[in-house]
Structure 1
Amino acid sequence: MLHEKKVTLRRLKPEDIPLLWEFIYGQAEPEWKKWDAPYFPIGTMTRKDFEKQKKKETKDPNPDRMYIEVEQQLIGMVTYYWEHQPSNWLEVGIVIYQPSNWHKGAGTEALKLWIQHLFDKYKLIRIGLTTWSGNTRMIRVAEKTGMREEGRIRKCRFYKGSYYDSIKMGMLREEWLAGSLKKV
């Protein structure tokens, strides 16, 4: 578990699984998905298959995700994946599922805590985050952690009749450390 003022990052618990299924598959068009790469379909999964998959995750000794808890309530998750492991380059992601938990600082706090954890755990030179130009809130959260725009692939995401840019954000270890030292 990782703790900060508002948020706790923790592993998935078996009792979280029904709520997590509801967040992801319980609605035809969940609000969070309109911001989290909406140009990729969410797909479907039965509750039973989801439960089976997630029960394995609860036993994973080195999960690539942690779940965001605020006031002992599951509200979202942070993830990472290796863009190129031999180069120690990974990408992070975050989702807060319910709009009632947006705009309260939990996402920024969770992402900062996750970045610190990943820099501590791995010999990373950089951490990246990819989003799309329609998700200005995600861009702002990334900026608040100290990330900056590193690349823009123009008009490559099509959503609701319009083209959007893919935005590559990132930070170097030394930038993170310099920012962390200023806060102390």
Structure 2
Amino acid sequence: MTNHNPGTGPYPQPPYQQPFAQAGWQPAAPVVSPARPGRRFLAHGLTAIVSLIIGVGIGAGGDTGTSASPRPTVTVTETAQAESVPAATETVTAEPVVDPEEEDGPQTTFSGDGQYLVGEDIKPGTYKTAGADGLNCYWARLKNASGELTAIIANGNVQGQTRVALKKGEFFETNGCQDWKRVG
């Protein structure tokens, strides 16, 4: 005996298979949950920070102005006249006045833009800036010059006056700040 009624008989079809047999049936579109806005903001924010650090690293790749330039020598020529002696010319070479702060070695005042090695480019100590030279003043103390986020010891974005203590062997990165001057 043949049973022509689907879903009954010795091998009944489960009810979930019956809709597939209906004409014109289409599977439902997959349900996609909307992205959580916090994660999107975090991803974009992290991308912006990494881009900023890379940009600052590229901008700091130029000459930092730390190379020592030769000091000018001033030559003064005087003409002396005596009553009984014909005119004589004497050449005097004057040594330039050396500011003790500008001796060879690390600087104690430097530009608000660049990356400096403490102990080689600038002296260790506490430095002060009047703040932003434009919209924002960014500074960072770094373990190394790799440009990676893990190299940051401390950093900040400031508009007004700030002080930063720098130790020998660290790198100091600054961007958009007025000149830095050692105060301690």
TM-score by length of 1: 0.27
> Which protein has the larger Cα radius of gyration, Structure 1 or Structure 2?
2
- The structure whose residues are more often helix, as a share, is 1
- The structure whose residues are more often strand, as a share, is 1
